[in-house]
Chain A
Amino acid sequence: MVDVSTDNIYMDNAATSYPKPGEVIDAVCHHLSTLSSNPGRSAHRLSLEASRALFDARQTVADFFGASDSRDVVFTLNVTEALNLAIYGILRKGDHVVTTSMEHNSVMRPLRHLESEGIIELSVVHSFPDGSVDIDGIAKRVKQRKTRLLVVNHASNVTGTIADIKAISRVKGEALLLVDAAQTAGCLPIDLKEMGIDLLAFTGHKALLGPQGTGGLVINTTRECILPLKRGGTGSNSEFEQQPDFLPDRLESGTANGCGIAGLARGIEVIQTMGIDNIRMHEKKLIEIMQEGLKEIKGIRIYGPMDAERQVAVISINIEGISPSDVGYALDRSFNICVRTGLHCAPSAHRTIGSFPQGTVRFSMGIYNTEDDVEKAIDALTWIAEH
């Protein structure tokens, strides 16, 4: 077994955050060891405790994103499932959809599938080379009475570029705005009402500090029109063979990931205790140090806005003459630095920034990264570029 416990500099938080806070680990273990029975199915004490844990977690998520009612929080396996739920649950034959060229495949693949089946008409608005969204371009493509859905990444998983969701919401017309918050939930403040978001898809295992297998869709409007991705047991309406029509049961079938969701809720509480503004400040500082250091390296190309104000702690680079995978391999084996290389499940985003098909080397920082980690990463890249 590889010893991964010591001396690692983990800079792959955009994929999965690591390490997890002790509180999250304790919450998962506590749930597994004391109340891991089936929520919402029975009235015995253990089941009730599991139901309460799930209910409390739903409320924690609702409060965190400014949802008006906790029933509007639908738990899913991850952000991909949440995006699929919204996309397949809302779109019908003849609908028009607008999205951007910076989207992840979790958005692109379902949309391209529906397009290839002749169900939807899709407009992909080309983003700028620094990853920022062409809001005027979106405004021009939104069609009255025809555009049903507008899908936008809150921040790019390739360049970290933050989209101005409030400004995008102002041009959505009658369309519903679905925001992919994979890279922002937990490190940027999100308020559904204030930002004009109709549907928010999030994942638990990145900046929210929770375990893998957690995430959800938060519904601000349009409770009625979303069809379920899966149907099955809900613990409610058991005498009927039809799916219940109320939330969250309509969109959640089968036993929930109770222990994972308990960990997710604790992760959110950890963030609330630390203060999301403090987290943002910490990450901005790391971005600034990283960018200053990177600029000094010969033959380096840095993607994205190069402005800590306009991005989350995700930085993509390439070193001239060396493939991203070779850089990543050297960082890992010679310097114990974990990064992700390649296309990051976002080929369209890489085409937009000019790094397709080789991709980039992506550094993504989290709350546990230090200035020292960043300095070490810069030193390592300097060495690699010179050898």
Chain B
Amino acid sequence: MTVFVFYCIHDVMKAEKAFKDSGIPIDIIPVPRQVSSDCGMAVSLEEEYKIRAQDILVEHNIEIKGVYKRLSSNEWVIDT
């Protein structure tokens, strides 16, 4: 699982809309404890959609704070 972390909820909402419009399946989840974030919510998606999703964020001018990958249930790494 990949998680996108944003600076604020406004950007999470904006990203959700952009992903929905582009047909990318996502979920909004509370930010995992191990992931550093300013904002309490994050977007999770399957890894296969990561590149396309990042392109969509650039296209919509939505700033992303970080991308994380889940290794195990409580292990996350930065995934740039």
A-to-B contact residues, CB < 8 Å: 39-43, 48, 51-52, 55, 58, 70-71, 234-240, 244, 246-249
Binds A, one of B35-43, B51-59, B68-76: B35-43
CA distance A246 to B12 in the complex (A): 14
With both beta carbons as reference points, the residue of chain A lying nearest to B29 in the complex is identified as A43
B-to-A contact residues, CB < 8 Å: 7-10, 12-14, 16-17, 28-30, 38-41
With both beta carbons as reference points, the residue of chain A lying nearest to B10 in the complex is identified as A71
Contacting pair B14 A41 (CB below 8 A): no
Contacting pair A248 B41 (CB below 8 A): no
CA distance A70 to B29 in the complex (A): 23
Contacting pair A52 B40 (CB below 8 A): no
Contacting pair A43 B30 (CB below 8 A): yes
Which of A237, A239, A249 interacts with B10 by CB under 8 Å? A249
Which of B7, B9, B17, B29 interacts with A235 by CB under 8 Å? B9
What are 9 of the A-B contact pairs (CB < 8 Å)? A39-B9, A42-B40, A43-B28, A52-B13, A55-B13, A70-B14, A235-B39, A236-B40, A238-B40
For residue A185, give the distance in angstroms from its CB to the closest CB of chain B: 22
Contacting pair B29 A236 (CB below 8 A): no
With both beta carbons as reference points, the residue of chain A lying nearest to B39 in the complex is identified as A236
Contacting pair B10 A42 (CB below 8 A): no
Which of B14, B29, B30 interacts with A55 by CB under 8 Å? B14
CA distance A244 to B9 in the complex (A): 12
Which of chain A's residues have a CB closer than 8 A to the CB of B40? 40-43, 235-236, 238
CA distance A58 to B12 in the complex (A): 14
For residue A44, give the distance in angstroms from its CB to the closest CB of chain B: 8
With both beta carbons as reference points, the residue of chain B lying nearest to A250 in the complex is identified as B8
Which of chain B's residues have a CB closer than 8 A to the CB of A41? 40
